[in-house]
Amino acid sequence: MKMFSLKKFYNLAFISICVIAFILAMIPLAWILIEVIIRGISALSIELLINTANPPGIPGGGIANYIQGTIILVGLASLIGFPVGLLLGIFLSEYKEHKLAPYVRFFVEVFAEFPAIVIGIFIYVILVRGDIFKLFGVEKVCIGGFCIGATGFAAIAGAISLALLMIPIVAKSVEESLSLVPISIKEAALSLGMSRWKSVFIISISYARSGILLAYILALSRIAGEAAPLLLTVLGSFYWFTGLFDRIGALPLAIFTYGISPFEDLKAQAWAASLLLILAILILNIGLKIIIKRKFAW
Amino acid sequence: MRLIDEGLQRLNSKIIRMANLSRETVELAVNAYLKNEKLTDKIFHNSETLRVLQDEVSEIAVELIARYQPVASDLRYIKSCMEIAYGFSRFGRYAYDIMQVLEVFGDLSVCDHTNIIKASEIVHKMIDLSIEAFINRDLEKSLLVEKMDDEVDNIYESYIANLVKEKYKDLKCAVSATLILRYLERIADHASYIAEAVLYIVKGERRPRK
Amino acid sequence: MDIILSVKNLNAWYGEKQALFDVSIDIPRYHITAIIGPSGCGKTTFLRCLNRLHELGQGNKVKGEVYFYGRNFKGNIYDPNVDPTEIRKHMGMVFQKPNPFPMLSVYDNVAIGLKINGIKDKKKIDEIVMNSLKKAYLLDEVKDSLNKSGASLSGGQQQRLCIARAIAYNPEILLMDEPTSALDPIATSKIEQLLVELKKEFTIIIVTHNMQQAARISDYTAFMYLGKLIEFAPTEELFETPKHELTEKYITGKFG
């Protein structure tokens, strides 16, 4: 009788500890969410979403250009980051026996852990200041009519730094998705007379397509909120997008700059921007996941 | 022990029972004939028993085939059992036929039974040998049996040839002896089929048909 | 006997472990040859050497010659100048567990073999797909669900789909690795009937651990044990009067 109630007590105690731990962990998260939602909603208005930023000190103005900036940067970054990450992921998963495989894997693993700010500094030095060109003793490199040199703070540099962040995330997820393709499927493809690369690109990719798309979404939501590399590569801007080699604004930058500014209306705008960012990430992760599961899963 | 082994045991005991009964029946019939005794009822009873046993062998064989899909030596054994069982039941039938001759022709004690005695001795030996060969899968004994079949054939054929050439003394004796020798020749044939089956069971070969 | 495949001294390894020892056999064209033997005897390894699938495994090795007398290929498939991918186009393979591509429709499962081989004409593809499904005794059952996923069919139907997929681009040899061992008896019997029908157009080599299946459908049977070929004979002969004592012991169930 005593043993029985002792066991019950331990059971209850353990469960209680778990619940308490969960609540403790959830409190800050819930607090942040609540704060962002409350302060963000009160600052949100149509003007905010339509107007571009005003120079500091002048009331009115909105965050429209930052929204545009984030979309452009993230879009550009994924143009580079997704294909490269995909190919790396395919290589890691399907060509394990290749000589270079261990080096590539090491590379990807290290890069995945790189602090974002370090990538920012890297791009700052190489592209923004142009040290890579100085290294080769040229001011710019021209191919056909297209020339590239030290960019200064530029959208392209920001996009590249975000892409570098994106690549290892995509690569690792793609590798994981592909590793779930059963050997029986691969063998079926090979026995039909498909060459190795065809069986990878036509069959394996197709089988793992929902996993690969989800990998992409994961990476997108990660880089959408990165401020550190952008600080060092695009610096920020109050204006609409003017060119790849010009500065550009972005939501995380706005949150940072406005958040530490002394102006109350700008601080409010920072909350609104935060809310937008969180909403965007939530929509991406939950909404698109549902869509992908419906359309691409089999 | 495989599952089929129990069934094969049953089949084997039935065959051995048939072997013993049919050998006994042939001996009884021939001796009774030579002594002019009418053992018709007993012989008939035995012959019917052998028919029933043959059906039972057939049933067991079919059951084993349906249930166990036997192959190789098992299959050959089962097939041979079906054929041999027919042979044993024929022994019983011919034994009965021999008794029938006595019934129909009545007293035959005046006849010269020398040929019949000679043939029947060989036939008894053949039956014994073929059953031994089957039980022990003895290829040498089975070869012996097939040679002895020729001897019985000769006795029969030369008796007929003589009968045609010379005049017979007594119609009753001539006809009855012909019939008995005919039955003995058929019994000998079946005994040699039984001996042949041994080769088929052991090696899967058949003697080329003459 | 018209020989389509002549195997000479085939040896195969999984790393250090040897699985096939000097296997030599001549496979007759347009007949069903069954390969039987206890687990681990090398029959699946042998089959996978015929379409050069075995060598794809890490550390796997093959030595020996396999002469293929095909319509468009005549020679040793293990010749160093031969592209294994080409060889596999002459041989279709069906596996133990049905493996249709679940991310493709029933129609596309059959069509993909054609598309990757350069057939682009839609009408032609359609014709061949329908024909293959018909030959595989599957068309009637799927004609209203051609766009459904390949994995939405029952086990027996999936396997017939795999057969349709394998025969679509007209290989000369069908390699079947225990194709019915994962199926119920009715599905099994449908496929067995199908195979007997298919041998009019294809040479079929079927690995099976079910001796009765080999006895039912094959014209020739090969018995393998511990990586060696023990006996190869017409099926009625092997099952009525096997020449080798090991064969006799295995098929009568005295070991196995």
Could you read off the pLDDT of B20-55 as tens digits, one per residue?
Answer: 999 999 999 999 999 888 889 999 999 999 999 999
Size of interface B-C (CB pairs under 8 A): 32
Residue C88 and residue A188: Cβ atoms within 8 Å? Answer: no
Average pLDDT across chain A, whole number: 86
- pTM for this prediction: 0.84
- Mutation choice for C interface testing from A185, A191, A199 by most C CBs within 10 A: A191
- Please, are residues C245 and C255 in contact by the beta-carbon 8 Å criterion? no
- Please, are residues A273 and A63 in contact by the beta-carbon 8 Å criterion? yes
pLDDT above 90: residue A286: no
pLDDT above 80: residue A51: no
Indicate the pLDDT class of residue A214, thresholds 50, 70 and 90: confident
Indicate the pLDDT class of residue A292, thresholds 50, 70 and 90: confident
Most distant CA atoms of chain B, gap in Å = 65
Residue C101 and residue A195: Cβ atoms within 8 Å? Answer: no
- Please, are residues A194 and C116 in contact by the beta-carbon 8 Å criterion? yes
CB-based contact, C211 to chain B, within 8 Å:
yes
In angstroms, what CA-CA distances link C218 with B87, C32, C188, C205, C214?
Answer: 35, 5, 15, 9, 5
* Domain residue limits at C177: 3-251
**Which DSSP letter does residue B66 get?**
H
- C202-233 pLDDT, tens digit per residue, is 999 999 999 999 999 999 999 999 999 999 99
Of C51, C92, C149, nearest to A298 by CB-CB distance is C149
Residue C85 and residue A97: Cβ atoms within 8 Å? Answer: no
- Please, are residues B8 and B40 in contact by the beta-carbon 8 Å criterion? no
Domain residue limits, chain A: 44-295
CB-based contact, A167 to chain C, within 8 Å:
no
In chain C, residues with a C-beta closer than 8 Å to the C-beta of A184 are: 95, 97, 99
CB-based contact, B169 to chain C, within 8 Å:
no
- C1-60 pLDDT, tens digit per residue, is 899 999 999 999 999 999 999 999 999 999 999 999 999 899 999 999 999 999 998 889
Lowest-pLDDT choice from A77-81, A176-180, B161-165: B161-165
Indicate the pLDDT class of residue A137, thresholds 50, 70 and 90: confident
CATH classification code of B3-203: 1.20.58.220
- Mutation choice for B interface testing from C212, C218, C252, C254 by most B CBs within 10 A: C252
Structure tokens, B103: 């019934």
User: How many domains would you assign to chain C?
Assistant: 1
Answer yes or no: is C115 within a domain: yes
Residue C252 and residue B204: Cβ atoms within 8 Å? Answer: no
Answer yes or no: is C209 within a domain: yes
The helix (run of H) or strand (run of E) holding residue A267 is helix A264-282
Residue C60: closest CA among C18, C27, C122? C18
Contacts of C94 (CB under 8 A, 6+ apart): C159, C162, C163, C166, C174, C175, C176, C177, C179
Residue C253 and residue B2: Cβ atoms within 8 Å? Answer: yes
Contacts of B106 (CB under 8 A, 6+ apart): B172
What pLDDT sits at residue B210? 59
Domain residue limits, chain B: 3-203
Supply the angle between the helices A209-224 and A264-282 in degrees, to the nearest 10.
170
Give the residue-averaged pLDDT of B83-98.
Answer: 95
Q: Do chains B and A touch (3 or more CB pairs under 8 A)?
A: no
Q: Which residue of A has its CA nearest to C150?
A: A298
Contacts of A62 (CB under 8 A, 6+ apart): A47, A48, A49, A50, A51, A52, A53, A269
How far does Cα A129 stand from its chain's mean position?
Answer: 25
In angstroms, what CA-CA distances link C192 with A197, B56, C166, C238?
Answer: 35, 34, 16, 20
Instruction: Measure A89 CA to nearest chain C CA, in Å.
Output: 20
CB-based contact, C250 to chain B, within 8 Å:
no
Cα separation, B173 vs B143, whole angstroms: 34
> B residues 66-95 near C, CB within 8 Å?
69-76
Answer yes or no: is C256 within a domain: no
What pLDDT sits at residue A171? 94
Residue C113 and residue A97: Cβ atoms within 8 Å? Answer: no
pLDDT above 90: residue B206: no
- C139-180 pLDDT, tens digit per residue, is 999 999 999 999 999 999 999 999 999 999 999 999 999 999
In chain A, residues with a C-beta closer than 8 Å to the C-beta of C97 are: 184
Answer yes or no: is C102 within a domain: yes
What pLDDT sits at residue C178? 96
pLDDT above 80: residue B126: yes
pLDDT above 60: residue A1: no
- Please, are residues A88 and A166 in contact by the beta-carbon 8 Å criterion? no
The helix (run of H) or strand (run of E) holding residue A56 is none
Structure tokens, B143: 């070869």
Cα separation, C248 vs C255, whole angstroms: 10
| Domain at C227, CATH number | 3.40.50.300
Domain A44-295: state its class: mainly alpha
pLDDT above 90: residue B60: yes
Cα separation, B207 vs C27, whole angstroms: 32
